[in-house]
Amino acid sequence: MAVIRWSLRAVGDLESICDYIAKDSEHYARVFAQKVMEIVESLADLPLSGRVVPEYNTKELRERIFQNYRIVYRVSSSGMIEIVSICHGAKPIPRM
């Protein structure tokens, strides 16, 4: 089972997204955060389950899609997983 770490950027991304959703519904903000956490936790068992990020085309940088968001993560050779960013699919992916 791989170790999962969150970058400061990814933590900020999730907080910002949930704050935005909470303006309309605190309930759906919590549901969104819970689902993202479930997806991230599933990476510990299946780190290569996400697709390769097309903009970078490197097997270490992968993503899982949830609703309109891209959960971008890096898999190291040691097996550690770093959640790099969570960004809206309509926006350009931030530089990694």
pTM of the predicted structure, to 2 decimals:
0.92
Q: Could you list the residue range(s) of the whole structural domain that residue 84 is in?
A: 4-88
Non-local (6+) Cβ contacts of 76 within 8 A are 60, 82
Q: How many domains does the chain have?
A: 1
Q: How confident is the model at residue 96 (pLDDT cuts 50, 70, 90)?
A: low
Judge whether 96 lies within some domain. Answer: no
pLDDT digits (tens, 9 = 90+) for 18-62: 999 999 999 999 999 999 999 999 999 999 999 999 999 899 999
Helix segments in the chain, DSSP class H: 8-22, 26-42
Judge whether 93 lies within some domain. Answer: no
Judge whether 77 lies within some domain. Answer: yes
